Structures are given as structure tokens and as C-alpha cells.
């Protein structure tokens, strides 16, 4: 292989934007966000004439939005973290 071909091959390989730890934190943050949306879902009623007070319970009003917010903060940390 000639020297010129080796240089082209090395130039073609681009370094990853984030490090391995950054991607790990990105996936963890995404997991928290997905879990928050899953916890927020449900609680509806099949019959529109029947009121279901379960839509205002602790899980949907406080826990799920806190998990989503925490996931967003983890995502910001993962993006801003300098790779090792």
C-alpha cells in the first residue's frame, strides 16, 4: 500500500463526537425521560360520563414530571461533559 493511500485512509476515519461515557449518560437520560412518559400515561376512563380521579395522583402529577426533568438534566450533563 502506498503512503498516499494510507494517508487517505487515516483521513477518512473521523473521531467520534462524544466519548464512551457521554453516550452512556445520554442513554441513561433517555431512559429516565421514557420512564417518566410511561408513568404519566393512562388513568383515563372508557366512559366519558364517569370521572376517574386517578389522573391527579402522585405518580402522574409529581413523580413523572420530576423524572422527565431529571432525564433532561442528565442529557445536558452528557452533552456538556468533556470526553476523557
pLDDT at 43 over 80: no
Beta strands in the chain (DSSP E): none
Cα dist. 63→14, 18, 32, 33, 37 in Å? 41, 30, 11, 12, 10
Query: Count of alpha carbons within 13 Å of 29, Cβ hemisphere only?
Result: 17
DSSP conformation class of 53: G
Q: What average pLDDT does this structure show over 64-80?
A: 97
Structural domain harbouring 76:
13-80
Q: What average pLDDT does this structure show over 68-75?
A: 98
- Band of pLDDT at residue 35, cut at 50, 70 and 90: very high
Q: Give 8 or 44, the one with higher predicted confidence.
A: 44
In a domain, 43, yes or no: yes
pLDDT (0 to 100) of residue 72: 98
pLDDT (0 to 100) of residue 1: 55
Domain count, the chain: 1
Q: What are phi and psi of 71, to 5 degrees?
A: -60, -40
In a domain, 29, yes or no: yes
Q: Is 22 helix (H, G, I), strand (E, B) or coil?
A: helix
In a domain, 65, yes or no: yes
Q: Give 8 or 84, the one with higher predicted confidence.
A: 84
Name the helix (H) or strand (E) containing 18: none
Amino acid at each position: 500500500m502506498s503512503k498516499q493511500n494510507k494517508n487517505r485512509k487515516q483521513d477518512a476515519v473521523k473521531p467520534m463526537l462524544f466519548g464512551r461515557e457521554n453516550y452512556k449518560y445520554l442513554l441513561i437520560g433517555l431512559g429516565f425521560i421514557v420512564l417518566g412518559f410511561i408513568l404519566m400515561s393512562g388513568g383515563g376512563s372508557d366512559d366519558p360520563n364517569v370521572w376517574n380521579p386517578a389522573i391527579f395522583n402522585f405518580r402522574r402529577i409529581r413523580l413523572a414530571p420530576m423524572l422527565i426533568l431529571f432525564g433532561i438534566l442528565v442529557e445536558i450533563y452528557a452533552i456538556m461533559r468533556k470526553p476523557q
